[in-house]
Chain A
Amino acid sequence: MSQSTQEPSVGTADRKDSPSRRFAADFCESRLAVGGLLVFLAILLVAVFAPQISPQDPYDLVALDILDSREPPGTQSVSGHLTFWLGTDAQGRDMLSAIFYGLRTSLLVGAMSGFIALCLGTCIGLMAGYFAGRVDTVIMRIVDLQLSFPSILVALMVLAVLGQGVDKIILALVIVQWAYYARTVRASVLAERQLEYVEAAQCMGLSRWRIAFRHLLPNCLPPLIVVGTVQVAHAIAVEATLSFLGLGLPPTEPSLGLLIANGFDYIMSGRYWISIFPGIALLITIASINLVGDQLRDVLNPRLQR
């Protein structure tokens, strides 16, 4: 696709038009998407380096002072060492530090579940699309069945049965997400397997598994990447919702959803900061991922290919 429109040129122009550079150039056409990407990278850095940049370790009970509890934003701590720019919660925890650590948990759960679901869904979708026949019918029936239930209900079912915990919520999110990946991969495999290169590979006597994973899979990647970004944002939102309901993560590892839930108890008394700021952090995270995903969809959509 990318080489076909290349004009005859000399020297360095070839390098300039390599697929990855074209991709980068296309992506940068939307300022909004670039902004989203930058914001997301910043959030990622904050999450990774949370222990280094947080003013306080929110889980170190010794560092907390109960006298600091529920202070509004901008208050000085009792000990005078630090200022709580975003206020404190009921335990006297600095909200800014709690949000940094919460981002870490939220992103970790979202990325882990997204990655596992991606691998699982891709393998299943590849099998359905490439082996066709009865395998395909059975798999697609299961996918249709699952997609006819809303993801929040499926996740609630899993967690109602399994109980709380990081591993359980990741499992629940994988169960919620795999079907989207499987359906996406299957659709593109069905289109790809008609093409000559698959026939050529078959003529060369390559095994079915090799054709599926070495030749078909790379060509199915673009739609997968798009679905992947959207799904990670979705997973973060679902996890936050479940944690807010008290079904997701245990209180020892508060994600953004749990921080909002904690603050919700104090909202009637006007202490807005405990739940507003984690909410804004969640919002920015989801919005930035969605912006990147939107632009990726436009760039990778073959129908819009220039």
Chain B
Amino acid sequence: MSVFIIRRLMQSVVVIFIMTLIVFFGVMVIGNPVDILIGQDCDGPCREKVIRSLGLHLPLHEQYLVFLKNALKGELGNSFKAGIPATHLILQRMPATLELAFCSFLIAVGLGIPLGIWAGLRPESLSGKVIMGGSILGFSLPSFWVGVMLMLLFAVELNWLPATGRGETVPVLGVEVSFLTLDGLRHLILPAVNLALFKLSLMVRLTRASVRENLLMDYIKFARAKGLSMNRIIFVHVLKNILIPIITVLGLELGNLIAFSVVTETIFAWPGMGKLLIDSIDVLDRPVVVAYLMITIFMFIMINLVVDILYSLLDPRVRLGDIKQ
């Protein structure tokens, strides 16, 4: 087990290293930082001075080493607009995004698995077909358009829920959260549902397929022959067996939620890091963009790592197979 974890950790370090290389070259070599960082009115000696102060006169590999050293310390430059370190700015915004992502995650899992089991047990019934039809719709509707429609319907036409913002927040352990106040909760519903819809459809389809597959297996016949109640068979035996694929997908989808929150946050003006990214791209606030990319990539690699380890804990076949290789 520890061999597996150590090997997997090493892989992650290598991937992080490669990603810093890609981001560095993307930003510093393909995009020309001098033109973007220096205003038009500044040329000649002024330009020279800024180039020196930013370390852009150094050869590329030295620039990269400086970048790497600063990145390890968590320093990715100051935001041009806010004047504070870009990483701080992003970490400030991160709780809002995580809150949104976790709420969507809960909606997707809490509704998706029961609906999937229901549809899997009754594939020919009307309710099963309606659930599947809905999931196809949730799959092919572009998420940003669904967001616009949700807003139009519930915020503009019906006026039930607020359209934008985060509402009232309360600090919990020094972090502002909005799901504990009624106003915050009302603000949270639309963005969370919007973000969850795609994952919800995915969960329904995945659970339904696994349930149908598992119902045909011998262990079910055996459990029924033993006289177990159908409820016990489904909620103990089947559920355990369908969890393995679901957890893998779930882990990866958590990362996906964070990436897709960029879209949802932009629509509902949710003050998370995704909205910060779009705003920063608009005003060419490059340090923030770089910091966002580095932090998200890091989060992704960590999520993948945790999912892999969880997966091997749940399913011994995976880890044995890996060690044998």
Contacts and interface: CB of A to CB of B under 8 A. Distances in A.
Contacts of A163: 31
A145 B30 contact: no
Given A245-B278, A270-B156, A260 B31 contact: no
B30 A162 contact: yes
Contact of A153 (B31, B144, B259): B259
A176 interface: no
Contacts of B325: none
Nearest to A156: B262
A283 interface: yes
A160 interface: yes
Interface in A254-296: 257, 260, 264, 267-268, 270, 272, 275-276, 279, 282-283, 286-287, 290
Contacts of B266: 244-245
Nearest to B301: A148
A260 B263 contact: no
Contact of A145 (B18, B255, B263): B18
Nearest to B267: A264
Interface of A: 145, 148-150, 152-153, 156-163, 233, 237, 240-241, 244-247, 257, 260, 264, 267-268, 270, 272, 275-276, 279, 282-283, 286-287, 290
Interface in B123-166: 140-145, 148-149, 151-152, 156-157, 163
Nearest to A236: B142
A279 B145 contact: yes
B296 interface: yes
Contact residues of B: prevailing secondary structure: helix
A267 B148 contact: yes
B140 A283 contact: yes
B140 A287 contact: yes
B262 A145 contact: no
A267 B297 CA distance: 34
B102 interface: no
18 contacts: A150-B255, A153-B296, A156-B277, A158-B26, A160-B289, A240-B142, A245-B278, A246-B278, A246-B282, A247-B281, A260-B144, A267-B148, A267-B156, A268-B163, A270-B156, A279-B145, A282-B142, A287-B140
A87 B262 CA distance: 30
B218 to A, nearest CB: 22
A203 B295 CA distance: 53
Contacts of A244: 144, 263, 266
B142 A148 contact: no
Contacts of A286: 140, 142
Interface residues of B, number: 39
Contacts, number: 93
Contact of A241 (B263, B282, B296, B300): B263
B68 interface: no
B263 A152 contact: yes
Nearest to B255: A150
A157 B156 contact: no
B156 A237 contact: no
B27 interface: yes
B169 interface: no
A88 B296 CA distance: 40
Nearest to B300: A149
A267 B140 contact: no
Nearest to A147: B252
A152 B252 CA distance: 14
Contacts of A148: 252, 300, 304
Contacts of A257: 144
B256 interface: yes
A264 B266 CA distance: 11
Task: Count chain A CB atoms within 10 A of each CB in B152, B282, B300 and give the residue with the most.
Answer: B152
B148 A150 contact: no
A164 B202 CA distance: 32
A163 B36 CA distance: 12
Contacts of A268: 156, 163
Contacts of B263: 152, 241, 244-245
B251 to A, nearest CB: 11
Contacts of A283: 140-142, 145
A291 to B, nearest CB: 9
Interface string B52-76: 0000000000000000000000000
Contacts of B149: 276, 279
A260 B145 contact: yes
Nearest to B256: A150
B189 interface: no
Nearest to B297: A149
